Copies of this chain bind each other. A is one copy, B any other.
Amino acid sequence: MTLIRPHASDQLRPLMINADKLTEYRQYAEKLPKITLTSRENGDLIMLGLGGFTPLYGFMTYQDWLNVCQNMRLTNGVFWPIPITVSVSNTIAKTLHTGDDVALINPKGKTVAILHINSIYQPDKLLEAICVYGTDDLTHPGVAGLMAQFDVNLGGQVDVLDDGGFKAHFGQYALTPKECRDLFSLRGWKKIAAFQTRNPMHRSHEYLVKTVLELFDGVLIHSLFGHLKPGDLPADIRLKAINTLIEHYFVANTVVHSGYPLDMRYAGPKEALLHALFRQNYGCTHLIVGRDHAGVGDFYSPFAAQAIFDMLAPGDLDIRPIKIDWTFYCEKCHSMASAKTCPHDKQYHQLISGTEVRRRLKAKEALPSTFSRPEVVAELYKWIE
């Protein structure tokens, strides 16, 4: 085993119950009180099931929640940047006690886990908002999501019974951390960067990945398959658009294309840390961190998500960031470049906003081939039809 070790653990800790015990667990779960998960909570649960949140054993207790908010650490000292929690209403909370087991139900109504409650607490959401998002502004989608949570959190170990169709839906593009690691080992990769994406890949993203590919063994193109902001492209469309790019413009077996079940939190720097942490569990040694990684609006300074990695203590995370500036096509360079490699004035840089890209796609207006590969644009047009 020459791959990077999982976060703070010698082995992955997927919380999915083995197939041979599943019937027994399911029967037990059906007798339990039912708690319905939000989309965000459900994504977190699937990730716990897959082992992507190693070494967590479940949803955070009060002490872990508080420590993570204030110090980015679990009570056992292990680094962790963002609370992983599940909430219930006051009414339901009053019927529950530590020591109780409850069934967790996904948004589609399916029983997906058993939670062994060992902590029931009212989190200070304002504290969490400020600590995690750096703001309590309700126009921030992550803050809005947090404030919309119920008032009481349940902490405790979980046994995951079902991935809610994640694997069935995404198939070969829903590699587990173990499957990713096995694939990396098979290919003999050691130095592996993860490229986080929640968009189709245009030339600037292709440039980022290829730049890293020149120096690394391989890149994991890792798409968020969970919930996004309204107006963002659905996962299935992004999947096809990225596959089209890979098919036409990448050398076979230099990248792995897969996805993960989380929703976006838009927590900027702290989410960049979480993105790095679980990519370590997927076997990656590096995470590409661009400008305003996991940001939204103007809530974070463009380089905050890069700078936060420099504030970690030694040993907090083994995975390292690859910090790259905005990338763009420069008409003077006649090539893709970044502010680090192109000396020319901004007037020569082709920058098209996401809003403008969506407008042109809807209007079936062309996108320059220096911005997006024609094959990819054709794929995106199909979605509009």
Contacts and interface: CB of A to CB of B under 8 A. Distances in A.
A274 interface: no
A324 B252 contact: no
A251 interface: yes
Interface in A203-254: 210-215, 248-252, 254
Max count, chain B CB within 10 A of own CB: residue among A215, A322, A336: A215
Contact of A211 (B211, B250, B369): B211
A343 B248 CA distance: 8
A212 B214 CA distance: 9
Interface string A267-291: 0000000000000000000000000
Contacts of A324: 214-215
B215 A341 contact: no
A126 interface: no
Give the residue among A214, A324, A335 with the most B Cβ atoms within 10 A. Answer: A214
B251 A339 contact: yes
Contacts of A39: none
Nearest to A250: B343
A66 interface: no
A367 to B, nearest CB: 14
B215 A252 contact: no
B341 A210 contact: yes
A332 to B, nearest CB: 8
A343 B249 contact: yes
A298 to B, nearest CB: 26
B210 A251 contact: no
Contacts of A250: 341, 343
A337 interface: yes
A94 interface: no
A336 B329 CA distance: 13
B210 A215 contact: no
Interface in A322-364: 322, 324, 333-343
A334 B369 contact: yes
Contact of A254 (B213, B254, B334, B341): B341
Interface string A189-212: 000000000000000000000111
Contacts of A338: 214
Given A213-B340, A213-B341, A214-B341, 8 more contacts: A211-B214, A214-B324, A214-B338, A249-B333, A250-B343, A251-B342, A254-B341, A334-B369
